[in-house]
Chain A
Amino acid sequence: MTTISNKTAIAGYGATEFSKNSGRSELRLAVEATLGALADAGIDPSEVDGMSSFTMDNNSEQEIFRAIGGKDLKFFTRIPQGGGGTLGPVQQAAMAIITGIANVVVVYRAMNERSEYRFGQPMHSLPPTSDNVIFAYHGFAGLMTPAAMLGLMMRRYMHETGATSLDFANYAVLARKYASTNPNAFYYGKPITVEDHQTSRMVADPLRLLDCCQESDGGVALVIVSAERARDLRQKPVYIRAAAQGSPKGTVSLGGFYKDNVWPFDECAAAGRQLYAQSGLSPADLDAAIIYDHFGPTVFPGLEAYGFCAKGEAKDFVKDGHLEIGGKLPINMHGGQLGEAYIHGMNGVAEAVRQLRGSAVNQVPGVRNMLVTAGSGLPTSAAILGVD
């Protein structure tokens, strides 16, 4: 077992409401989520000395710090790759605390993604950075949206595994079923049917509208401290049992079309191998999971890459009901990013914290260990969280 395992814990989380138009600044959302997380943990804002976020977040560390009444910020760091990076800031926080660089680290993500800009729009005419010249090279063919990029990967997955849009409907329906009983979810009170999925319009064939995540405004923050400190605080510590990033040979940001396997898979498998090695746990030890669903169909190769079923067998695993509460691996009980909201996966981390504390609206009984993953089809990250 390596030194990261169980040395740190999520002591608190905070979140704003999730909406299509927050009516306030992104910085205000970040501050509200941060103050909420600190209050949840029972830690005074003056104790915060580290902050970690996504490069895509528009809120600077020192501005949040100023607004919460921070005193002495010593550690701040950012992780790229948008939703692929979700668990990267968590890993940064854990490493900073273990090495003594910081003691109380806030991880945050806040955005007015729906009301002020939309990620699903064509990406073109960008400055020629190393990633952008690749987006432009693919955009030259008309491949300009994340939906089309993942659609191209998933079409090959369907060809090789026999999975169909009807299989993907099973997850789309399940995510909205969970969301329909979650008051924080966009799909609260609005379950959908397989027919709704099958008749929803194509966005990037094979991906339909109801395969796509929400576009959301909102903020989520976590407070991470040492395991020792967490045991003295008011909430049950949610230990970071493992945290890893994955970007194996051939990985390209939303453009890994040139390696043997073009599925959104290799980077997830690479992160998974590290998680199981760090924690000493195996897929069979995990009671539930948050599997990143920028697009619902990517959950299928995700389940395979993290070892819950063999390659190509996710369609049967899902069809047999194993993602439901009572199944082998309930996932995304908040409704996922298809059903609750899209906050670059941070709302999924918050759901994992609630599940492990036993306070979720769609609670899985007796959860001890959970996998949480980030966006696939680009450099990714993942963590295993657990409680005693």
Chain B
Amino acid sequence: MTDASARGHNAPCSNRDFDFFYRGLEDERLLVQRCARCNQLRSLPSPGCESCGSLDWEPLPLAGEGEVYSYVTHYHPPLPGFAAPHPMALVTMDEGVRLLGAMDGTDPADVAIGRRVRVEFVRRENVAAFRFRNL
């Protein structure tokens, strides 16, 4: 458990590479990193660019829409903070990066590869979060 409260968010396990993402959610912004040298976008946070190795980057807000690339529905064992069955989708955002998001609030039968989705910002207890909804 990290005490990240002094770093602007309440996500349970983060470090200084990931803080910007959770801080973005506090402002209802879905942020990814853009390499300052080669402009490559990356969603899974990392201190360095997988394309060119630069450590310089800036946060870029995504528009929030994309298409389901894959999905899974969790049934067992019980998850902390989510009811089962719990669908999740790996989404190719319109900017080209993939992002994994919860799809609670959507019937698992309505989750499918190729379907258009849009981000919805939610709070889970005291943590700013997001999920996807079908368009």
Contact = CB atoms under 8 A, between A and B. Distances in A.
B12 A125 contact: yes
A136 B14 contact: yes
Contacts of B86: 142
A203 B78 CA distance: 10
Contacts of B79: 122, 142, 144
A133 B17 contact: yes
B44 interface: yes
Interface stretch (A4-12, A247-255, A314-322): A247-255
B88 A141 contact: yes
Given A142-B88, A257-B90, A136 B69 contact: no
Given A148-B88, A205-B73, A143 B100 contact: yes
Contacts of A136: 11-14, 18
A152 B99 CA distance: 13
A139 B122 CA distance: 16
A151 interface: yes
A262 interface: yes
B72 A148 contact: yes
A138 interface: yes
A145 interface: yes
B45 interface: yes
Contact of A203 (B18, B45, B71, B76): B76
A206 B74 CA distance: 9
Contacts of B82: 142
Contacts of B78: 122
Contacts of B17: 133
Contacts of A156: 69-70, 90, 113
B57 interface: no
Given A143-B88, A258-B97, A202 B73 contact: yes
A249 B13 CA distance: 25
Contacts of A151: 72-73
B75 A124 contact: no
Contacts of A121: 77
B72 A143 contact: yes
A201 interface: yes
A299 interface: no
A36 B53 CA distance: 49
Interface in B28-52: 42-45, 50
Nearest to B102: A141
B70 A262 contact: yes
A205 B86 CA distance: 10
A202 B102 contact: no
A36 B31 CA distance: 55
A137 interface: yes
Across chains A and B, which 9 residue pairs bring their CB atoms closest together, nearest first? A136-B13, A156-B70, A151-B72, A205-B73, A152-B72, A202-B75, A128-B15, A141-B102, A142-B82
Given A120-B77, A142-B82, 19 more contacts: A122-B79, A122-B80, A125-B12, A128-B15, A136-B13, A136-B14, A139-B13, A141-B102, A144-B74, A145-B77, A152-B90, A153-B70, A155-B70, A156-B113, A204-B72, A249-B50, A250-B50, A257-B90, A258-B44
25 contacts: A122-B77, A122-B79, A130-B15, A136-B13, A141-B102, A142-B74, A142-B81, A143-B88, A144-B80, A145-B74, A145-B77, A148-B74, A151-B72, A152-B70, A152-B72, A152-B90, A155-B71, A155-B113, A156-B70, A201-B76, A202-B76, A205-B85, A249-B50, A257-B90, A262-B90
Interface of B: 1-2, 11-15, 17-18, 21, 42-45, 50, 69-82, 85-86, 88, 90, 97-98, 100-102, 104, 108, 113, 129, 131
Interface of A: 120-122, 124-128, 130, 132-145, 148, 151-153, 155-156, 159, 201-206, 209, 249-250, 252, 255, 257-258, 262
